[in-house]
Each structure stands twice: as C-alpha cells, then as structure tokens.
Structure 1
C-alpha cells in the first residue's frame, strides 16, 4: 500500500465511482483545559467535527466556555481520572478486569454526571477508555451509567458489543508513541488511512461504519498539524468524502 496524497484522492475517486461517500471520524484525546495546543488543533480542524475526549475528574471549569466558539466539537468521556489500575507489568488500563464492578460503575457514573454538568448537551454518552482498553467483562455495565457508545482502537480480537452500545472505533493513531511521541509521518499515515478506506470499500473492514482518526493535541507537532490541515482540505474538496459527527454515529 502506497502512501501519497494522489493515492488518497484516487481511493476517494473509487468510492465516488461506486456511488458512495467515504465517511471519516476525528477523535482527539486527553483534554482537560484550554491550552495553546488545543487552540491549534481546533484551528486546523476548522469546520470539521471533532470528538474531544475529556478527562472528567481533571476537566477545568474554563473548558466549557473555551469551547463556546467551537460548535463542531462534541465532548466524550475519557474514563474518569486517567489513572492506571492494571497489575504490575500489565498493559496500562483504567478499567482492567481486576477492578471491582462497583468501583467501575461509580467512576463511570460520576464522570458522566460531571461532564453533563460542565458541558450540558454537548457531552455525549460515549466512553473513550484511557489507553483504549476496557475489560470486556465490564461492557454490560455501560448502560447502567447511561453510556451508549464505546470508542477504542479497532481490533479484530475485540468482543462484539451488545446492540444497545454503538461502536465508534478509531483505526489510525497519528502519534508514534515509542518513537519520541512524534507524528508517524505522512507516508505511514496515508498508507493506514487508504488501507482502511479500501478495506471498507471492498467489504473487508472490521466492524464500524467510519474510518476513525486519533490525535492527541498535547503532543501534536508541526508535521502532524500539516498533515491534518491537508487532510481536512482534501475531505472538504472531494465530493466522495465527508466528516461524520458523533451524534449521527450514536443515532445510526
């Protein structure tokens, strides 16, 4: 799979030739307060809808007002405190299977209520578990706290969600976490993006109706911002591409 801008346009052209429109979804994680980095991300996004995963326990009272001028932003629940509760040596998770169900329910419910209080209807009932990990054993607990959507990193090994929980997975993380927390590079980003779009077009993709892109505004570098700026412009110009918003995914 090649990773050049003309290749992306060519893939979108193929979508158009089949009479379909490729939908993309943008999720950005770890928001807690107004920052220059968040301002920069929203400037790059422009009118494109962004699903902003906010850490409930750490969310500042200034963030709702900051977002007043960004109606395209939806607020999602990024766990509770973004605290690692995994066993020593295990992959980090705020909600590993070793935790008590009652504690998980309490944290999810408290997080949901705090976001509703701060952001009102902008706070949608979608859980984004920190580190994209949420024990399958706890999925049935989501509806007890009013959560109707779950967004993690897409995986063929993930258990199927119940019909009353919408899947909103992301498929492409733009940060190379083990390589200086920098942008993964245009070639790699385009290859991943085109690959998933092609798999969807050919009926080979894992569950989900959109191609999810994950960003982290706090570590977004200039190269990453440049990629996002060009991607947003490409989607805006192409008749066979569009940004999906979170509310429509919940209603699907």
Structure 2
C-alpha cells in the first residue's frame, strides 16, 4: 500500500497553523456518456465531492447531457472541437495557433451557446483551453465574449512569479473582469502519450506544491486544482485516485469546493 506520509505531514503543518487550502477537481475531454465518465461521476458521488467537467461542445453526443446531470457536477467549456491549429513543429493549441483571433472567438462563442442551451444552469462560462494553452489575444477577449474566467494549469501570477493561465508557455497578462482558477496536479503524464504519473511522484508533487503555498513561494490564497482525464485512466490511475480522494477529503486542512464557490471567493484580474 502506497504511503501518503509526505502529504499527510504537509497537510498537518497547514492544520497546525490554523490554515486550510481550498481544493477543487477538474476533469477534461468529456464528449459522450462513456463507461469511464460514469465511473468518474460515481467516484465523486461516493466521496461526496463536487467536480467540474470540461465538455467539448463541437463533438459532444446527446447522451452527455444526461450523464452530467448528477448533483455536484458543474460543466465548463473545453475549447470548441479540441482540434489542433498550431503551426508545423509547434505545440498543440486550439485557442490560438495559425487562425485569426476573430475566427477562434467565433468558434468559442458557438460552443458556449451550445453548452448554455444543453446544460442550462449546470454550465458555468469558464474557458478550459485544450492542452492548457491559449493565445494572449484570445484570452484578452474572453470577458467581452461573456466568459467569467479561465482555467489553465500551474500557479497563477503572484508577486511577479508564474502565469495567469497556461503556464506551459509565456505568462499571460489577462484583462480586468477575468478570474483565473487553475489546476495544479495532473494524475497523468503526457510525454509519449497519456500514462499514470505514478503514486510516489504525485504524492511528492502534491506535498511540494502545497508547501510552496504555505511558504508564499506561490500565491498562498490560490485554490489548488486536481486534474483528471477520465478517458485516459488505466486501473492504476483509478486505484490511486480512489485512495487519494478518500485520504484528503477527510483531512481538516482541506476544504473541497465547487468551482462556483471559488468563483465568488477568487480575485478578479
């Protein structure tokens, strides 16, 4: 059985200081009511945890609406078609790339209208760019397009450190009225194709990234995001996730929150 000692010790330091970290859960790439999606939502319900699921509007099947109607589920927008528009030799991107900004925004707006129509109040107009990448010009236009915010990957900007959205590339300078609520721990690794990142590595990274917050090396008030991709989980990933959720959900230093609550608590850029 995998030891969670390193993570437990870090959470105990938070609790001893009378502090708690807000934690949320984002899952990407939903397009149909697959067995993996059913398993994911059942896991969230079993642990009584809210989950935000990023849906791909252009490829979604009709059965996705019923699958995401479960209590505790919030639907976010995962780009438009999850299609790569990067130039040759460049890293994948849909919200930018070789297309004009206006064309990208037209597609995103169409996707937003689809999700609003299909999911109603379950849908939160938050952009989750595929591959966690978004062109700065597209990001700058999000508020005018009706989006409340952006969810990328990595620490948001803090005292001149970090980025606001996609921290894999150049840091973004976001406009006013845009909230950033990122994910920070992906249970998968992607080099060479999706694969379980490994329990030892994930526990170490989780503890280290919480310590960065506690010691103000990153924004101490930033919510911590757990990132999953239900379609790409193997049994080792599912097993680890089950144990991790059971462990952290019961710790007094963790406050599991729906993204809708975090939106009201997070600063607007």
SS of the counterpart of 1:80? coil
2-structure distance, mates of 1:189, 1:16: 21
Runs of 5+ in structure 1 lacking a partner?
A: none
Task: Find the counterpart in structure 2 of residue 211 from structure 1.
Answer: 224
Task: Find the counterpart in structure 2 of residue 25 from structure 1.
Answer: 24
Task: Find the counterpart in structure 2 of residue 150 from structure 1.
Answer: 150
Compute the displacement of 1:179 (Å): 4.8
2-structure distance, mates of 1:33, 1:56: 10
TM-score, normalising length: structure 2: 0.87
Task: Find the counterpart in structure 2 of residue 85 from structure 1.
Answer: 85
Compute the displacement of 1:4 (Å): 4.0
SS of the counterpart of 2:226? strand
Compute the displacement of 1:160 (Å): 3.4
Compute the displacement of 1:159 (Å): 2.0
Runs of 5+ in structure 2 lacking a partner?
A: 156-161, 163-169
Cα deviation 1:98-144 (Å, max 9, x = unaligned): 32122122111111110011100111010001111101122221012
Cα deviation 1:27-47 (Å, max 9, x = unaligned): 111000101111111222222
SS of the counterpart of 1:239? coil
Number of aligned residue pairs: 249
Does residue 49 of structure 2 align to residue 36 of structure 1? no
Task: Find the counterpart in structure 1 of residue 127 from structure 2.
Answer: 127
Task: Find the counterpart in structure 1 of residue 68 from structure 2.
Answer: 67
2-structure distance, mates of 1:48, 1:226: 17
Query: Which structure would you say has the larger RCO, counting Cα contacts within 8 Å and 6 or more residues apart?
Result: 1
Task: Find the counterpart in structure 2 of residue 239 from structure 1.
Answer: 252
1-structure distance, mates of 2:183, 2:68: 23
SS of the counterpart of 1:118? helix
